[in-house]
C-alpha cells in the first residue's frame, strides 16, 4: 500500500496473542469512521491459518474496543470473497451477525470454479475462432506501457471520461515489487497491440484487474481470445478465476451486458459484502455456549 500512502489516513491494525501476530485489519480513517482500506480491492479482517473461533472472536472484539477508545464510532468493513481464502474462514460473517452489523453494500462478482469449469458458450467460442482466423497472438510480455498508452487510457477517456485507478508508473512500480503476482498479457495482430489485461495472481485466484481492447475488438474476437488464454494459462494450483464486479450503486443495479458476457465464459455469481458496525457494540458482544 506504500505507493499511495499520501491518499489515505492509514489506520491499519495488528492484533497480537502474546508475542505472536494473530490478525490484521488493513484500514484507513475518515473522521470518526475506520474503513476496510480503500486502497485495496479486498482488505478485511485477516486471520492466520491456524486461527481458532473463540480466539478470533476475542480478537475482533478487541478491535472494536480499541477503535471505540480511539474515538471511532463506526467500522465500515468488507468481507473478503470466500474463494480468496486458503482455508474455510467465515468467522467474520458470524461475528458481524452477533454484533448486529448493518449490510450496506452487496456486489456481485462473477467467478469460475476451476474444479467445476464450465465450457465457453457458443457466442464466446465463435469469438475465439474469429481471433484465430484473424491471426491474433497472445503474449505474456509485461509491456504495461504499451497497453496503458495505446489501449487502456484512450478507451477509458473516450468511453467514460475517466482514467485508470492506477497510473502507469504505479503499476510498473507494483509489478517490480511483486513480479509473480502482477503480470501483463497483451494480444497482437501483425505485431500491433489490439487488446490486453493486467492480471493479479494470488495463491488461490486469477484476477484480471484491467481489461481493454481497441475499436476492432468485436471484429477480431480479441477479448474472447484473451480471456480464454488467461483463464487457462494461470490456473495451475489455483482454485478460482475472478472477474470484476458486475453490479453498480452498492449492488442495487446489475450490469446486464457484463453479466451476459461473463456467464458466456462459464462464470457464476459470488457475493462481496460491506457492513457498518457500531464500535460501542463491543460492550455487549458475547458468544453463548452450550
Contact 264, 99 (CB under 8 A): no
Look at residue 147 in the predicted model and tell me its pLDDT. Answer: 96
Instruction: For the chain, list the domains and their CATH numbers.
Output: 8-107+272-284 (3.40.630.30), 119-234 (3.40.630.30)
Q: Is the pLDDT of residue 207 over 90?
A: yes
pLDDT band at 4 (very low <50, low <70, confident <90, very high): confident
- Is the entire prediction scored with pTM above 0.85? yes
Query: How high is the mean pLDDT of the chain?
Result: 94
Segment 60-89, tens digit of pLDDT: 999 999 999 999 999 999 999 999 999 999
Q: Is the pLDDT of residue 3 over 80?
A: no
Q: For residue 246, give Cα distances in angstroms to 89, 110, 111, 235.
A: 24, 7, 11, 22
Q: Which helix (H) or strand (E) holds 187?
A: strand 182-189
Contact 130, 275 (CB under 8 A): no
HSE, side-chain direction, 13 A CA sphere, residue 167: 5
Look at residue 210 in the predicted model and tell me its pLDDT. Answer: 93
Chain centre to alpha carbon of residue 207: 7
Look at residue 288 in the predicted model and tell me its pLDDT. Answer: 86
Of 98, 97, 61, 96, the C-alpha closest to 283 is 61
Look at residue 74 in the predicted model and tell me its pLDDT. Answer: 98
Share of the chain above pLDDT 90, in %: 84
Q: Which residue has the higher pLDDT, 211 or 288?
A: 211
Look at residue 43 in the predicted model and tell me its pLDDT. Answer: 81
Buried b (16+ CB within 10 A) or exposed e, 244-266: ebbbeeebeeeeeebbebbbbbb
- Any idea which of 45-49, 140-144, 247-251 has the lowest mean pLDDT? 247-251
Look at residue 141 in the predicted model and tell me its pLDDT. Answer: 92
The three cell numbers locating residue 118: 464450465
Segment 177-196, tens digit of pLDDT: 999 999 999 999 999 999 99
Look at residue 287 in the predicted model and tell me its pLDDT. Answer: 87
Segment 158-174, tens digit of pLDDT: 888 888 988 999 999 99
Neighbours of 274 (CB within 10 A): 20
Contact 105, 248 (CB under 8 A): no
The three cell numbers locating residue 205: 485466484
Question: In this structure, which long-range contacts are made by residues 209-215, counting pairs with CB atoms below 8 Å and at least 24 apart in sequence?
Answer: 209/41, 209/244, 210/147, 210/152, 210/164, 211/244, 212/147, 212/151, 212/152, 212/155, 212/156, 213/151, 213/155, 213/187, 214/150, 214/151, 214/155
Contacts with 238 (C-beta within 8 Å, 6 or more apart), sequence order:
114, 201, 202, 203, 204, 205, 206
HEC string of 235-267 equals: CCCCCEEEEEECEECCCCEECHHHHHHHHHCCC
Amino acid at each position: 500500500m506504500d505507493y499511495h500512502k499520501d491518499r489515505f489516513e492509514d489506520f491499519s491494525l495488528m492484533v497480537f496473542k502474546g508475542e505472536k501476530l494473530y490478525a490484521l485489519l488493513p484500514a484507513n480513517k475518515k473522521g470518526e469512521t475506520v474503513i476496510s482500506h480503500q486502497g485495496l480491492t479486498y482488505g478485511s479482517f485477516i486471520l492466520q491459518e491456524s486461527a481458532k473461533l473463540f480466539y478470533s472472536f476475542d480478537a475482533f472484539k478487541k478491535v472494536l474496543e480499541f477503535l471505540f477508545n480511539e474515538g471511532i464510532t463506526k467500522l465500515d468493513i468488507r468481507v473478503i470473497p470466500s474463494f480468496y481464502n486458503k482455508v474455510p474462514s467465515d468467522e467474520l460473517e458470524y461475528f458481524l451477525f452477533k454484533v448486529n452489523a448493518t449490510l450496506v453494500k452487496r456486489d456481485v462478482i462473477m467467478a469460475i470454479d476451476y474444479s467445476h469449469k464450465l465450457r465457453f458458450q457458443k457466442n464466446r467460442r465463435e469469438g475465439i475462432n474469429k481471433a484465430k482466423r484473424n491471426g491474433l497472438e497472445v503474449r505474456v510480455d509485461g509491456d504495461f506501457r504499451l497497453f496503458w498508452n495505446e489501449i487502456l487510457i484512450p478507451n477509458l477517456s473516450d468511453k467514460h471520461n475517466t482514467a485508470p485507478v492506477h497510473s502507469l508508473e504505479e503499476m510498473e512500480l507494483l509489478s517490480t515489487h511483486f513480479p509473480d503476482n502482477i503480470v501483463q498479457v497483451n494480444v497482437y495482430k501483425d505485431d500491433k497491440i489490439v487488446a490486453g489485461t493486467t492480471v493479479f495472481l494470488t495463491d488461490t485466484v486469477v484476477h484480471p484487474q484491467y481489461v481493454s481492447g481497441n475499436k476492432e475488438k468485436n471484429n477480431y474476437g480479441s477479448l474472447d481470445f484473451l480471456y480464454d488464454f488467461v483463464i487457462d494459462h494461470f490456473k495451475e494450483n489455483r482454485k478460482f478465476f475472478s472477474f470484476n464486479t458486475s453490479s453498480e450503486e452498492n449492488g442495487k443495479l446489475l450490469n446486464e451486458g457484463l453479466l451476459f458476457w461473463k456467464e458466456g465464459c462459464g462464470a457464476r455469481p459470488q457475493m462481496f459484502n460491506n457492513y457498518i458496525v457500531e464500535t460501542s457494540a463491543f460492550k455487549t458482544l458475547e458468544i453463548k455456549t452450550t
